[in-house]
Amino acid sequence: MTDIALRAVHLTKRYGRLTALDDLNLDVIRGEVFGFLGPNGAGKSTTIRLLLGLARPSSGHAEVFGVAAADVTRAHRLLAYVPADVALWPHMTGAEILHLQARTGPGTDLAYRDELVDRFELDPSKPARTYSTGNRQKVALIAAFATRAPLLVLDEPTSGLDPLMEREFRTAVRSARDRGQTVFLSSHQLAEVEAVCDRVAILRAGHLADVATMSGLRALHRSEVTVSYTGPAPALAVVPGVEAITETGEGQLRFTLTGPPAPALRSLAAAGVTALAVREPSLEEVFLDYYGTENGR
């Protein structure tokens, strides 16, 4: 088996005149937790449906551990999936659905599944028609996390979960990574991706905007620096990476900093700095940098 868990090559999907996904090239490495970030309608679910062979690409192709995505009998032995809107057979109980998924799936750790049922506080004796959105999502999550499939593909899996359950979800993702499973997590929630992912791809209007590690992603973006000083005003304007210098008061400055901070620190050295605060950008701000003010599509 290759070390590339998921591979998209020139993957494109058109719905009539709408290009939902445009020439996506992406490699997800075995063992990582990979975030797939984008606002609603960016094409995340479309991508996942192509990766799973639920939809056929207009052009390009996708592979799961080197197996063509269209060859579902082989490819799906290597993955478990949680869809964006989980719909269940209304007359079946949670336990029955979990049993069906385990029997037809790529192999399930039944003891771990029972543990997950407890941890997610699911009552599996109820018929699915009585489950809320969150409970339906829990059923699909438990079924997926309990498999020993080397790849978990999760499409916005926490949209219906409350904060406590979201914590359980993050724990489960980390345990999956500890066991060596690869996780492909689509989300429009930055905090979630920030909390669990190693690398993240950012999708906008069907285009891949960037792929980066979490720290690399932040480094690419502006930190906000606030300084108070007693000496002469520092000559920051000529320092590379420094922008948007504003005087916020007597002997007080605020500026943004991109890239390594050493040159800026050197020019601050002579100013007699009494206080210095560096604020890391939140992923929200990172996100806004990609998307600007307009909303994706």
Ligand X SMILES: Nc1ncnc2c1ncn2[C@@H]1O[C@H](COP(=O)(O)OP(=O)(O)O)[C@@H](O)[C@H]1O
Largest CA distance in the chain: 76
Least gap, CB of 74 to another protein (angstroms):
7
Q: Does 83 bind another protein (CB under 8 A)?
A: yes
Can residue 187 be called a binding residue for ligand X (CB under 6 A)? no
Select the binding partner of residue 184 from ligand X, another protein, Mg ion, none (C-beta < 5 to 8 A, by kind).
Answer: none
283 binds, among ligand X, another protein, Mg ion, none (CB under 5 to 8 A by kind): none
Would you give the binding string for another protein spanning residues 138-177, x where CB under 8 A is met?
--x--x----------------------------------
Question: If binding is defined by CB under 8 A, does position 119 make contact with another protein?
Answer: no
Binding mask 21-60 for ligand X (x = CB under 6 A): -----------------x-xxxxxxx--------------
Cβ nearer to another protein, comparing 94 with 281: 94
Q: Which of 47, 101, 137, 158 binds another protein (CB under 8 A)?
A: 101
What is the residue type of 262? A
Among another protein, Mg ion, ligand X, none, the one that 76 touches (CB under a kind-dependent 5 to 8 A) is another protein
